[in-house]
Structure 1
Amino acid sequence: MKKLINHPEYVVQEMIEGMALAHPQIVKKLPDTHVLVRADLSKEKVALVSGGGSGHEPSHGGFVGTGMLDAAVAGEVFTSPTPDQLLAAIKAVDRGKGVLLVIKNYSGDVMNFEMAMELAEAEGIQVKKVIVDDDVAVKNSTYTVGRRGIAGTVFVHKIAGALAEQGASLDEVQKVAEKVISRVRSMGMALSPCTIPAVGKPGFEIGEDEMEMGMGIHGEPGIDRTKIASADEVASTLVSYILEDMPCREGERVAVMINGLGATPLMELYIVNRKVAKLLQEKQIQVHKTFVGEYMTSLEMAGCSVTLLKLDDQLTELLDAPAQTIAWS
């Protein structure tokens, strides 16, 4: 295992410290936690809290800031954050308007977030939740009951965060987050495994000439392991599964996210996007905006995911609203 770390036990702690030191104008570290909060918490508004296991950077700490999250809680690598850390985040960002929890649909995340939610409510804090399940690849997996939450979660952060920034109520922010969840779909694929620092060896094996379609961001099995195909073939397969699950009519608008999983060059992501754009153009689906880069990774896994968000006027306005975070500006 080759990794630029000091000790596997301290990777999350030292990463959080490094992020806070690099971007003090945007985030600060909550003492004695793995929690990043907005540097400016003065505005009275609904607060958004998200998080999950580390190893998916820039998710979730990279999306803390104006117009997106108010706090992100980092668990150990690929491990759900604990209820006490989540409670600390909720209490730190609550400004009397309520807190919305954005949870990816993994059993440990759901259980721990809900436990923190109950603890916060016992202290008089109004808390609501949404659960993101945008992955169309598999219905149930190693870590989930129901579909997994993957890169589409970032669109939930952006749009719900924009509405909260405008002063909307907790019910309104929850409603728009649920609207995004109902209109966003993703699917990914992997070319290589990744190595959890504390384990020291790859989480799965895949042949040099193989790829896996529909693999999850923790290395959960996908729907098919095949010989490596071209970028155009991969893009066509991913878009086909997404549009089968969420049909789009001619003239409808979408936002597109081509997300790298950690070890895929931008060159390759743009080649995938080239085909995605052509496929949507052929179907006369309008692309309002495209995001290409790393938004929700899987350590150093090679591969990508494609996300489509079906837009209306409200979602378009909120997607385009200004935001300033480490990974979105």
Structure 2
Amino acid sequence: MKKIINDPSNILDEMLNGLVFAYEDLVERLPETSVIHRKGEKTGKVGLVSGGGSGHEPSHAGFVGKGMLSAAVCGEVFTSPTPDQILEGIKASDEGKGVFLIIKNYSGDVMNFDMAKELAEMEDIEVDYIVVDDDIAVEDSTYTAGKRGIAGTVLVHKILGAAAEKGLSLKEIKELADKLIPEVKSLGVALNPATVPEVGKPGFELMDDEIEFGVGIHGEPGYRREKLQPSAALAKELVNQLKKEFQWQKGDSFAVLVNGMGGTPLMEQFIFMNDVKQLLADEGITLSFRKVGDYMTSIDMEGLSLTLVKLEDSSWLEYLNAPVTTIAW
């Protein structure tokens, strides 16, 4: 294992300290916590809090800032943050209009964020939430009851963040989230697994000529293992699976995100996006919003995921294009 680290047990603390030093004009770390909070004047609007295990950088701290998250709560690598840490993030993000939680669908995250919600409500903070389950690969995988939450979560941050910035109420943001989540779907493919520093070896094994469709962002099993194929073939597989889920019609409008898993060069991500563009053009689909890059990674995993959001409401496109001030958007 080759990593630019010191003591593996100090990774979270040292990473967060480095992050806030590099971007001290945008974010701060709440003392004695693993919470990254945005700087700036109070807005008096609904606060947005997300988070989860580390190892997915720039998620989630990279999306803290004006127009997106009020705070991100960072757990240890691939481990949910604790309820007391999440509570601190909620308290720091409450400006009198309540706090909305964006939770990826993993059992630990759902349980701990829900406990934090109850603790916050005991302190008279109004809290609501949504659970993101955009991964169409498998149901009831490792760590998960139901579908997993993956890179589509980033687009949820963006849309709900813009809605909060616009001044929507907690109730209105919840209603928006409930409409949005069924229209966000993702699927990934892995070429090589991630190596968790404290474990020191890959989380699973793939032969040099193998890939796996549907692998989760923690290395959870996918749905099929095959020999390595050209980008165009990989794109066709992912697009066809998403087509089954959406049952789209010619002329439908979508947002698209090609997300790198941490170890895949942008060159390859752009090639993949070009293949996706052609496939969806052949389907008569309009790609009204496009994004490529590393947004929800799995440490050093080689691979990528494809997220599509069916733009059922014109305001969603407006929210995706709204300006933000964050580290990573």
**TM-score (normalizing by structure 2):** 0.98
Matches within 5 A, 1:154-303: 154-303=154-303
1:91 Cα shift? 0.5
Q: Which residue of 1 aligns with 2:317?
A: 316
C-alpha contact (below 8 Å) 1:191/1:206 kept by paired residues: yes
Structure 1 stretch displaced more, 298-307 or 18-27: 18-27
1:93 Cα shift? 1.1
Distance 1:248 1:24 in 2: 44
| 1:78-98 residue CA offsets vs partner (Å, 9 max, x unmatched) | 000000100010011101100
Counterpart of 1:316 in structure 2: which amino acid? L
* Number of residue equivalences: 328
Q: Which residue of 2 aligns with 1:77?
A: 77
1:178 Cα shift? 2.2
Distance 2:267 2:203 in 1: 26
1:56 is paired with a residue of what secondary structure?
coil
C-alpha contact (below 8 Å) 1:41/1:93 kept by paired residues: no
1:325 is paired with a residue of what secondary structure?
coil
Distance 1:184 1:214 in 2: 16
Q: Which residue of 1 aligns with 2:104?
A: 104
Distance 2:13 2:176 in 1: 33
1:52 Cα shift? 0.3
| 1:193-224 residue CA offsets vs partner (Å, 9 max, x unmatched) | 11111111111111111000000000000000
Does 2:54 align with 1:54?
A: yes
CA RMSD of aligned residues (A): 0.8
1:219 is paired with a residue of what secondary structure?
coil
Q: Which residue of 2 aligns with 1:327?
A: 328
1:49 is paired with a residue of what secondary structure?
strand
Counterpart of 2:156 in structure 1: which amino acid? V
Structure 1 stretch displaced more, 178-187 or 61-70: 178-187
Q: Which residue of 1 aligns with 2:93?
A: 93
Distance 1:155 1:179 in 2: 14
| 1:211-268 residue CA offsets vs partner (Å, 9 max, x unmatched) | 0000000000000011111111101101111111112211111111000000001111
C-alpha contact (below 8 Å) 2:101/2:127 kept by paired residues: yes
1:180 Cα shift? 2.0
Distance 1:19 1:177 in 2: 29
C-alpha contact (below 8 Å) 2:289/2:320 kept by paired residues: no
C-alpha contact (below 8 Å) 2:151/2:296 kept by paired residues: yes
Counterpart of 2:317 in structure 1: which amino acid? T
Distance 2:86 2:41 in 1: 17
1:179 Cα shift? 2.1
C-alpha contact (below 8 Å) 2:289/2:317 kept by paired residues: no
1:146 Cα shift? 0.3
Distance 2:273 2:157 in 1: 22
| 1:39-83 residue CA offsets vs partner (Å, 9 max, x unmatched) | 115110000000000000000000000100000001000000000
Q: Which residue of 1 aligns with 2:114?
A: 114
2:300 is paired with a residue of what secondary structure?
coil
2:291 is paired with a residue of what secondary structure?
strand
| 1:108-135 residue CA offsets vs partner (Å, 9 max, x unmatched) | 0000000000000011000001000000
Q: Which residue of 1 aligns with 2:307?
A: 307
Distance 1:66 1:36 in 2: 13
Distance 1:271 1:208 in 2: 21
**TM-score (normalizing by structure 1):** 0.98
| 1:168-211 residue CA offsets vs partner (Å, 9 max, x unmatched) | 10011112122221111000010001111111111111111100
Distance 1:202 1:238 in 2: 24
Counterpart of 1:82 in structure 2: which amino acid? T
1:114 is paired with a residue of what secondary structure?
helix
Q: Which residue of 2 aligns with 1:21?
A: 21
Residues 152, 196 of structure 1: CA spacing in aligned structure 2 closer, same or farther, 3 A cutoff? same
C-alpha contact (below 8 Å) 2:214/2:222 kept by paired residues: yes
C-alpha contact (below 8 Å) 1:155/1:180 kept by paired residues: no
Distance 1:327 1:110 in 2: 25
Distance 1:41 1:212 in 2: 46
Structure 1 stretches of 4+ moved >6 Å: none
Unaligned runs of 5+ in 1: none
